[in-house]
Amino acid sequence: MGKVPFLDIAGATREVAAEVWAGWGELLRTGQFVGGTAVSRFESEWSAYCGTEYAVGVANGTDALHLTLRGLGIGPGDEVIVPANTFVATVEAVVLAGATPRFADVDDGTLLLTPETIKAAVTSATKAVLVVHLYGQMPDMDAIIDSTDSLGLILLEDAAQAQGATWAGRRAGSFGVAGCFSFYPGKNLGAFGDAGAVVTSDPALAELLNSLRDHGRMQGGHGHYRHDVLGMNSRLDGVQAVVLSAKLRQLDGWNQSRRTLMAAYRDWIDPDKARLVEQLPESEGVFHLAVVQVNDRDGVRERLAEQGIGTGIHYPVPCHQMTPYAQFADGPMPVAEAAAGRQLSLPMFPQLRKTDVQRVAEALNKAVTEPIR
Ligand SMILES: *Cc1c(COP(=O)(O)O)cnc(C)c1O
């Protein structure tokens, strides 16, 4: 039997190759390699897609988070609530901004933040909550907005894994003061290198982010050499913007295909053997990852590998137990810790075939020796 890779981005690359070559041809003629028309075109397309007023392209997703925090004046002395179950960059960005991460546990079914876990983490120094739409699904955003509103906290979104996901019909990134995206190649909308963006409907924040990503450059005054704030270089280049515009036209179709494949996993996986992440009623996920919880995860993973089935683990160590961040931990995070030992990510990408999903599900049902419930 053929192999089933965990991820294969070659198919998506082929689908946009002609459009990308054409766009790059134009770029070679104009020489607008950093910033320029291709970048502003993608920024308009991306903000329109997300349902926000502005999008600011940056160099990667980590910078999108870090610069957003700095743009909002969140830094030393301020706490930002983050889930213990997330990719490290969420927490890393908070520390880079000079603020203090406050870990919150996650829900056992969705593996995402809840109003209860947020509330348990709040202190008098808490300024913001950084909600992560992990695996491509959003938590109960109505309940989360109620809780951040009543606690007087700024809501921010790490939507790096959730390009196009919706809650009650509204897109990820449009709920918070700002939504931060990564366009790392493996993401649902991925560049041919590193890229990222912040979306917001706050004109002052958008203007400041425009400046922060470009050495603190301001409009007016001494033109190109007026730097009124401490910035950095985190510009999006035209080479990547061309790719992102081309891929954006495919994103809804690709996300639909991921949803169909996830539904097939749901049909074929034995719920007594493996527990797929739960989907909330108002949530339309984009399934960046297809995550199950299983007992004897490493054994199951090995048995699948023996049959040529690739899998991943997102993530094996919760952030509050990582060396640079353990100093910020304040007590155990039982759900996140248990999930770290049981999570397994199954093959998932739009070009995956339904027959492959069936084969993976059947192999998984057999590979699990110890039921999950
Ligand atoms: C990918 C990712 C990031 C960081 O993105 P980079 O572009 O790699 O800097 C941040 N948060 C989450 C949840 C991610 O998956």
pLDDT at residue 210, rounded to an integer: 96
60 lines ligand 1 (CB under 6 A): yes
132 lines ligand 1 (CB under 6 A): yes
62 lines ligand 1 (CB under 6 A): yes
pLDDT at residue 27, rounded to an integer: 96
Atom of ligand 1 nearest to the CA of 182: 7
CATH number, span 250-367: 3.90.1150.10
C-alpha to C-alpha distance for 268 and 362, rounded to whole angstroms: 7
Q: Is the pLDDT of residue 305 over 80?
A: yes
Active site residue 187: yes
Q: Is the pLDDT of residue 373 over 90?
A: no
Mutate to test the pocket of ligand 1, among 58, 92, 132, 184 (most ligand atoms within 8 A of CB): 184
C-alpha to C-alpha distance for 83 and 81, rounded to whole angstroms: 7
Q: Is the pLDDT of residue 223 over 70?
A: no
pLDDT at residue 228, rounded to an integer: 85
Q: Closest Cα to atom 10, ligand 1: which residue?
A: 89
Specify the CATH architecture of the domain 9-245: 3-Layer(aba) Sandwich (3.40)
240 lines ligand 1 (CB under 6 A): no
Q: Closest Cα to atom 6, ligand 1: which residue?
A: 61
For tokens 């992990």, the residue is: 134
68 lines ligand 1 (CB under 6 A): no
Q: Is the pLDDT of residue 17 over 90?
A: yes
pLDDT at residue 192, rounded to an integer: 98
C-alpha to C-alpha distance for 340 and 337, rounded to whole angstroms: 5
190 lines ligand 1 (CB under 6 A): no
Burial 8-35 (b: 16+ CB within 10 A, else e): ebeebeebbeebbeebbeebeeeebeeb
280 CA from centroid of ligand 1 (Å):
23
pLDDT at residue 35, rounded to an integer: 87
191 CA from centroid of ligand 1 (Å):
13
pLDDT at residue 222, rounded to an integer: 62
Mean pLDDT of 236-240: 97
Which entry of 3, 119, 127, 187 is annotated as an active-site residue? 187
Q: Is the pLDDT of residue 348 over 80?
A: yes
Confidence grade of residue 1 (pLDDT, cut at 50, 70, 90): low
Beta strand spans in 78-195 (E): 79-83, 100-104, 126-132, 154-158, 166-167, 170-171, 178-182
Residues constituting the chain: 373
In the chain, the percentage of residues whose pLDDT exceeds 70 is 99
Report DSSP letters for 176-232, one per residue: SSEEEEE--TTSSS--SS--EEEEES-HHHHHHHHHHTBTTB-SSTTGGG-B-S---
Confidence grade of residue 289 (pLDDT, cut at 50, 70, 90): very high
- Average model confidence (pLDDT) for the chain? 96
167 lines ligand 1 (CB under 6 A): no
pLDDT in tens, 59-101: 999 999 999 999 999 999 999 999 999 999 999 999 999 999 9
1 CA from centroid of ligand 1 (Å):
34
- The angle, 0 to 180 degrees and rounded to 10, between the axes of the packed helices 354-367 and 238-268 is 60
**Which H or E element spans position 355?**
helix 354-367
pTM: 0.97
pLDDT at residue 226, rounded to an integer: 83
Atom of ligand 1 nearest to the CA of 60: 7
What tokens does 245 get? 């515009």
Mutate to test the pocket of ligand 1, among 67, 90, 131, 163 (most ligand atoms within 8 A of CB): 90
89 CA from centroid of ligand 1 (Å):
6
Q: Is the pLDDT of residue 281 over 80?
A: yes
307 CA from centroid of ligand 1 (Å):
30
Segments making up each domain of the chain, as ranges: 9-245, 250-367
**Which H or E element spans position 54?**
strand 54-58
